[in-house]
A = this chain, B = another copy of it.
Amino acid sequence: MERDQAEELRALQDTLYFIGGKWRVPVINSLCNGNRRFREIERSIPGITTRMLSKELKDMEMNKLVTRMVYNDTPVLVEYEPTPYCRTFGKIIQEMINWGRDHRKKVIQKK
Enumerate chain A interface residues (CB-CB to B < 8 A). 5, 8-16, 18, 20, 22, 25-26, 29-30, 33, 44-46, 88-89, 91-93, 95-104
Tell whether, in the assembled complex, residue B100 and residue A5 are in contact, meaning their CB atoms are under 8 Å apart: no
Contacts of A15 in B (CB 8 A): 96-97, 99-100, 103
Q: A8-B29, A10-B100 are in contact. List 17 more A-B contacts (CB 8 A).
A: A9-B26, A9-B45, A10-B104, A11-B98, A11-B99, A11-B101, A13-B26, A13-B100, A14-B100, A14-B103, A14-B104, A16-B96, A88-B102, A89-B99, A91-B99, A92-B92, A92-B99
User: Complex formed: what's the CA distance from A4 to B77 in Å?
Assistant: 27
